Structure 1
Amino acid sequence: MTITFITGANKGLGHETARRLIEQGQTVLIGARDSSAGSAAADALGARFVQIDVTNDQSVAEAADNVAQHEGSIDVLINNAGVAGPMGDPSDLTGADVLGVLDVNVAGVVRTTTAFLPLLKRSEDPVVINVSSGMGSLAATHDPTRPESHVVAPIYTASKAALTMLTTQYAKALVGIRINAADPGYTATDFNGHSGHQTITEGTDAIVGLATEGPGHGSGRFVDREGEIS
């Protein structure tokens, strides 16, 4: 049975991804910073909760150790935890603003992936999925027909561009692990005040697809619910 660990899974895309994967027979571990919210989400879904703060080295290490003691390995790591940061006019942005977002959206992925690699390497088909965004795509943010071109989110977009590139680099270096990035698309979640045109289920299509596609598929891809994108 496939064992999947998802960060930021107490609500939104992470929670819906967990629900769908459990429905498909996977064993899902709900990772979340907030113990109360994480435990409640796991209980409701029939999953196991593991506390993790992706900005804290010790917390990430303890989460990996928890999984090592209970499950012994994982097959899929979904780096879903993320923050938006300041939106709009960047005139007053500070270095601290930037570092705060990058600490979750980029460094958090590095921390978690590094800690969970030993567990992934015990799998016959190890998979890492980084939840990125079309907001980090030059093409999408310059296309007036795309919703990404109408949003000003300087740090968030930069962090997702970095995450997508990080994905390609990991895929080149870690040949035995399938590592890809997913763009959920403009999905109605708390993240955007539920203004997205996609349902939460549609927003998880790309993530679920990558988590269930099985061996033989490519690494270093950036995909949305319609297929591979650039």
Structure 2
Amino acid sequence: MRTVLITGANKSIGFETARQLLQNGYYVFLGSRNLENGLTAVEKLKADGLIHVEIIQLDVTNDDSVKSARIEIGKKTEILDVLINNAGINGGWPQAALEASIDQFKLVFETNLYGVVRVTQAFIDMLHKSSQPRIVNVSSSGCSLTLHCDPTWKYYTHKAAVYPASKAALNMYTINLAYELRDTPFKVNAVCPGFVATDFNGHRGTGTVQEAGTRIAKYAMIDENGPTGKFISEEHNPETGDCPW
């Protein structure tokens, strides 16, 4: 049974991604910063007959928490097939370029970028033992530099200085990670789940968590012919998924 670790998976998109991968025969390590919330999520999945799941207490902003999670998962399996770096925060609003504080930037980057680096580096040894290792970094088309310079883009006026910058930095990390792993079986991609109605955006989104989970799970399950080092947004381009950086 293939194994997957999903960070920030106790609710919303991460939870739905866990559900869909369980339905596709994966064993899910459900990462949750808050243990109680994670246990509740696991109980919901098991109540639906999805039993191959367990909670892993994991705060991506805390070195000790990440190390403990690595030790705990290492006790249960030598191999991790998929890592989905889903945990993220928006940092609160407003995010005007001339008014957002340095502390606000630090807070968001700590989760959205540094957290991904921490977790990826902690689990890379287990991923290397997989025959088809996959890393999916949950990104956003809202961090596209190209789109934000295009006045015809439908979200052109939706500007924010902090959150999109953190995801743009994540995209660069994804490019470098895919390059370093280019001569291996790894597939590493940045995937936008779409503008989804969740707590994250006050339920202002137009998409569903089911659609988002399907998009992320798809690139967690790609075969050896799948892409790597790509920025993918099926909401932006339903035919190819290509999204400009």
Do Structure 1 and Structure 2 share a fold, with TM-score over 0.5? yes
The TM-score normalised by the length of structure 2 is 0.89
The alpha carbon displacement at 1:24 in A equals: 1.2
Rounded Cα–Cα distance in structure 2 between residues aligned with 1:140 and 1:197: 19
Partner of 2:205: 196
Q: Which amino acid aligns with 2:23?
A: E
The residue type equivalent to 2:16 in the other structure is E
Aligned counterparts of 1:55 and 1:167: Cα–Cα separation in 2: 18
Residues 175-204 of structure 1, C-alpha deviations (whole Å, 9 max, x = no match): 222111001111111111111111111122
Shift of 1:20: 0.8
Verify: 1:205 aligned to 2:219, yes or no. Answer: no
- The alignment partner of 2:9 has SS state of coil
1:223 counterpart SS class: strand
Question: Match for 2:231: what amino acid?
Answer: F
Larger proportion of helix: 1
8 Å CA contact 2:187, 2:228 repeated in 1: yes
Identity score, percent: 39
**Which residue in the other structure is 2:68 paired with?**
62
Equivalent residue, structure 1, for 2:36? 36
Name the SS for the 1:150 alignment partner. Answer: coil
Q: Cα offset for 1:2? A: 1.5
Range that drifts further, 203-212 or 28-37: 203-212
Shift of 1:144: 4.5
CA distance, structure 2, for counterparts of residue 207 and residue 198 of structure 1: 14
Instruction: Give, as a single letter, the amino acid of the residue that structure 1 aligns with 2:205.
Output: G
Q: Look up the match of 1:99.
A: 106
CA contact (8 A) 2:100 2:161 kept: no
Normalization by structure 1: what TM-score?
0.95
Corresponding residue for residue 84 of structure 1: 90
How many residue pairs get aligned? The number is: 230
Q: Which moved more, 1:122-131 or 1:171-180?
A: 171-180
Q: Mapping of 1:168-179 within 5 angstroms?
A: 168-175=175-182, 176=184, 177-179=186-188
CA drift at 1:43: 2.0
Local SS of the residue matching 2:93: coil
2:25 is matched by which residue type in structure 1?
Answer: G
Per-residue CA deviation, residues 49-108 of structure 1 (Å, 9 max, x unaligned), is 000000011100110111110122210000000000133334332211111100000000
Unpaired stretches in structure 1, ≥5 consecutive residues: none
Task: Give the match for residue 242 of structure 2.
Answer: 228
The one-letter code of the counterpart of 1:228 is D
Could you list the per-position Cα deviations for residues 93-146 of structure 1 after superposition, in whole angstroms to 9, with x for gaps in the alignment?
A: 221111110000000000000000011011001111000101110222234454
Q: Is residue 179–residue 220 contact of structure 1 (8 Å, CA) maintained in 2?
A: yes
For the residues of structure 2 that align with 1:218 and 1:16, how far apart are their CA atoms? 23
